Amino acid sequence: MASFFFSGSSSRAIRQAHASLSSTPASALLPRRQIVRSIHIFRDVAPLRSHRRALLLDGQSVGLVPTMGALHHGHISLVRAAAAENSKVFVSIYVNPTQFGVHEDLDSYPKTWDSDLHQLQQLDDELNKDGKGRIEAVFAPTTKVMYPTLPPDSTLPGVGSFVTITPIASVLEGKSRPVFFRGVATVCMKLFNIVEADRVYFGQKDVQQTVVIKRMVQDFHIDTQVRIVPTEREPDGLAMSSRNVYLGERRHRVGLVLSKALRAAENAYNMGRTNRDEILAFAWDVINRMSMEQETLEKTERALFEVDYISLADPDTLAEVETVDPRRGAILSGAIKMLPLEEGTGREKLGLGEDKVPVRLIDNIPLQAI
């Protein structure tokens, strides 16, 4: 079994001493006898860098998985992908304030540090048995570390050092969340500079993020390879997301409308349709039916939602397409907002915050090039 400790040195001897003497909350959870290896926890840049340098000199390859914590199977699949092709995996856990707009609730973002570490530790045990790459470190910086000279600013144009990728960052998700991709690109640039990973891992779930990151890596000549990992879903098809904990059973069931709508449109493409209106009509049909059904139900039975967008876009530019070129494929994507429940029944399973928190769901399906 692995353990965690906060690391300021890359010396293995000091590491082991730390591991047995440390009284950090995470390591305190573990029986000392079973400790065979430690996962470093870095909060600062300098110790991480010197550790990274030692790995480089030792000929190890490093994969980085950036996350905001609240880890679920989607994140875990990224770590697995990283461990399959790198000897060492770094996972960053940082809820980045500059990607939350001033009216978006940064404080309500779920934070589950102990559970996150526990999941990583279990996965590392498994990787050890499989003889794969291992989880070497968690980078969990403070905001002062990530934004060393000026406090993070989420306003536009804002004060600070930012990375902007236009126009990709202004469409789809960027339309309703204008600072989002500036924040994402900025924090990823920082993480890439700090970790200097051979490969970085992102989920297909956030397709626009993958396009922004690929463009940033290309345009700024960042020496890393971007890997995209397929979306992990619940057995019923809902794309896994840290925010799903806010969905009780009723909103979860109704929220499935998004993945079902995209699936219907994908089937239309697979059956040979390439025209935008024809393909998207299948998605809208699923959405409109569900929407009408909910409106006829009692407040104690329904879950209302609003559609932000349903898109059919080019895979590289995310510009909307009128016709899908089967040699290029396309991205079908959508976003809906699950509104708070109007009235509970007292019997149903509620989500975190008793289903009073609005939840934005996003999902996408790549239409494969043939």
Residues that bind ligand AMP (CB under 6 A): 67-68, 74-75, 77-78, 202-203, 205-206, 229, 231-232, 239-242
Give the whole-angstrom CA distance, residue 217 versus residue 301.
Answer: 47
Query: Closer to ligand AMP at the Cβ: 7 or 231?
Result: 231
316 or 342: CB nearest ligand AMP: 316
Token pair recorded at residue 94: 């940082």
Tally the residues of the chain: 370
- For ligand AMP, the closer CB: 146 or 268: 146
**Does residue 202 sit in helix, strand or coil?**
strand
Least spacing, CB of residue 70 vs ligand AMP, in Å? 7
Instruction: Indicate the residue among 171 and 238 with the shorter CB distance to ligand AMP.
Output: 238
The helix/strand/coil state of 291 is helix
- What kind and span of H or E run contains 268? helix 257-270
- Nearest 5 degrees, angle CA 227-CA 142-CA 182? 50
- Residue 108 CB, shortest distance to ligand AMP, in Å, is 14
Residue 8 or 358 having the CB closest to ligand AMP: 358
Give the residue numbers marked as catalytic: 75
Which residues on adjacent β-strands are paired with residue 309? 335
- Cβ-contact 190, 162 below 8 angstroms: no
Nearest distance from residue 229's CB to ligand AMP, in Å?
6
The Cα–Cα gap between 257 and 337 comes to 11
Task: State how far the Cα of 187 lies from the Cα of 198, in Å rounded to an integer.
Answer: 18
The least CB distance from residue 322 to ligand AMP, in Å, is 28
- Measure the CA–CA gap between 52 and 140, rounded to whole angstroms: 15
- Shortest Cβ 364–ligand AMP spacing (Å): 11
DSSP codes of every residue in 37-57: EEEEEE-SHHHHHHHHHHHHH
